[in-house]
Amino acid sequence: MLCPGAARAQADPWPQRPVRLIVPSTPGSGIDLMARSLAEHLAARWGKPVVLENRPGANAIIGTEAAARSAPDGHVLLFSSDAAFTINPHVYPKLPYDPLADFAPVAQVVTFSQILVAHPSAGVASWTALVAAAGRSPGRLAYASLGTGSAAHLMSELLARSAAIELLHVPYKGFAPAFQAVLNGEVPLGWSNIFAARSHVEAGRLRALGIAAAKRSRFMPAVPTFAELGVDGLAFDLWFGVFAPAATPPALVERLYHDIAQWMTDPAVVERDFLARAYEPSGLGPGQFGVLLRRELAARGPPARALRAPD
């Protein structure tokens, strides 16, 4: 019964109107800049405008729900990070979307890891010093996050649990204000992608304490992994990916992936938009991306549920 629909999806002219690319983040963020590059490529390839729509708020819930409720005809796509799909479902009991039932994975674009940074005024130049300082003043050493249930929130609580310390959570509405708060010394600790933090670490404006990855990053090889520092279970591969609403015809999903893959494998894009910003290219297609999504959703459940928001 699905074959005639798939055949029509291939035969009908598409896109028939401008395509909306929803980004559940603020303008100027890393994912926003990458989505703008993709939108420019797709608009040139399709001969139709691809309008980037920033819908931040509620830890990506607002923009993600908007995409989930859109018609499954390829005219609305979502460019999102992993937290909306693998952490939010465990944290928010009344989440207005289902990460598996409401979406068709199209492409995992890049992966990356985050580093824990400290403002010099905090007086913690190493992970050992941080543990000692937190032990002397339980619940007073604060860290900034992108919001309740964000990857930064989850990783910080896992760190605190591993070291038997208590940290103070200070949530912000997105990466930019959280990172700026740490850079200005308003909050002593926070998480950052390598691209945003590297120049500040090199200039001494921030101190890098560790990276939440399975191995050291080629972009900042001097920063130790938390496993090297004696903290297990903190190897997080974060990612950006493209999704379509559920029930989008499989033939259209494959076409979307094919056209996005042209962008992901363009050497100029890889150098300028991926490597120069310390992102590792991925390129997983619908099937492999779907398997990864299910695996990570299950694996992040136990630690993420400890952050569950009240009913």
If you write DSSP's letter for every residue of 256-284 in order, what string do you get?
Answer: HHHHHHHHHT-HHHIIIIIGGGT-EEEEE
Is 229 domain-assigned? no
For residues 102 and 35, membership in a common domain is answered with yes
Q: Which two tokens stand for residue 234?
A: 């903190």
The pLDDT of 4-8, averaged and rounded, is 45
233 vs 70, higher pLDDT: 70
How many C-alpha atoms does 102 have within 13 Å on its Cβ side? 17
For residues 35 and 183, membership in a common domain is answered with no
Q: What is the reported pLDDT for 114? A: 94
pTM: 0.88
For residues 105 and 182, membership in a common domain is answered with no
What's the angle, vertex CA 245, arms to CA 55 and CA 250, rounded to 5? 145
Residue 6 has pLDDT above 70, yes or no: no
Q: What is the reported pLDDT for 45? A: 96
Is 195 domain-assigned? yes
**Counted domains in the chain:** 2
Most confident residue range from 5-9, 20-24, 161-165: 20-24
Q: What is the reported pLDDT for 27? A: 86
Confidence band of 5 (pLDDT split at 50, 70, 90):
very low
Q: What is the reported pLDDT for 309? A: 54
The pLDDT of 74-100, averaged and rounded, is 94
Residues 6 or more apart from 117 whose CB is under 8 A from it? 182, 189, 190, 191, 192, 197, 200, 201, 206, 207, 208, 209
Q: What is the reported pLDDT for 235? A: 85
Is 170 domain-assigned? yes
Q: What is the reported pLDDT for 12? A: 64
Q: What is the reported pLDDT for 3? A: 47
Judge whether 256 and 244 are in contact, CB under 8 Å.
yes
For residues 262 and 183, membership in a common domain is answered with no
**Angstrom distance (rounded) from CA 165 to CA 224:** 20
Residue 8 has pLDDT above 50, yes or no: no
Which of 193, 211, 229 terminates a domain? The answer is 211
Alpha helices (H) along the chain? 2-11, 30-46, 61-68, 83-86, 88-91, 127-136, 151-163, 175-183, 194-202, 250-264, 267-269, 286-299, 301-305
Mean pLDDT of the chain: 91
The pLDDT of 123-132, averaged and rounded, is 95
Residue 7 has pLDDT above 60, yes or no: no
User: In this prediction, what percent of the chain has a pLDDT beyond 70?
Assistant: 95
Instruction: List, for residues 201-230, the tens digit of each pLDDT value.
Output: 999 999 999 999 999 999 999 999 999 999
Judge whether 243 and 84 are in contact, CB under 8 Å.
no
The pLDDT of 272-300, averaged and rounded, is 95
For residues 39 and 184, membership in a common domain is answered with no
Is 311 domain-assigned? no
Residues 6 or more apart from 274 whose CB is under 8 A from it? 110, 280, 281
For residues 197 and 292, membership in a common domain is answered with no
Instruction: List, for residues 14-64, the tens digit of each pLDDT value.
Output: 999 999 999 998 888 889 999 999 999 999 999 999 999 999 888 899 999
| 311 CB-contact burial (10 Å; exposed 0-12 / middle 13-18 / buried 19+) | exposed
Judge whether 25 and 60 are in contact, CB under 8 Å.
yes
Is 22 domain-assigned? yes
Q: What is the reported pLDDT for 10? A: 47
Is 228 domain-assigned? no
Q: Which two tokens stand for residue 166?
A: 């208590």
The pLDDT of 82-107, averaged and rounded, is 94
For residues 183 and 198, membership in a common domain is answered with yes
Residue span of the structural domain in which 141 resides: 114-211
For residues 28 and 85, membership in a common domain is answered with yes
Is 132 domain-assigned? yes
Is 85 domain-assigned? yes
Q: What is the reported pLDDT for 218? A: 94
**Angstrom distance (rounded) from CA 103 to CA 30:** 23
The pLDDT of 96-105, averaged and rounded, is 97
Residue 310 has pLDDT above 60, yes or no: no
- Taken in order 226, 198, 30, 287, the sign of the CA dihedral is negative
The CATH number assigned to the domain holding 290 equals: 3.40.190.150
For residues 93 and 17, membership in a common domain is answered with yes
User: In this prediction, what percent of the chain has a pLDDT beyond 90?
Assistant: 78
For residues 248 and 158, membership in a common domain is answered with no
For residues 97 and 138, membership in a common domain is answered with no
The CATH number assigned to the domain holding 121 equals: 3.40.190.10
For residues 86 and 106, membership in a common domain is answered with yes
Residue appearing with tokens 């859109």: 70
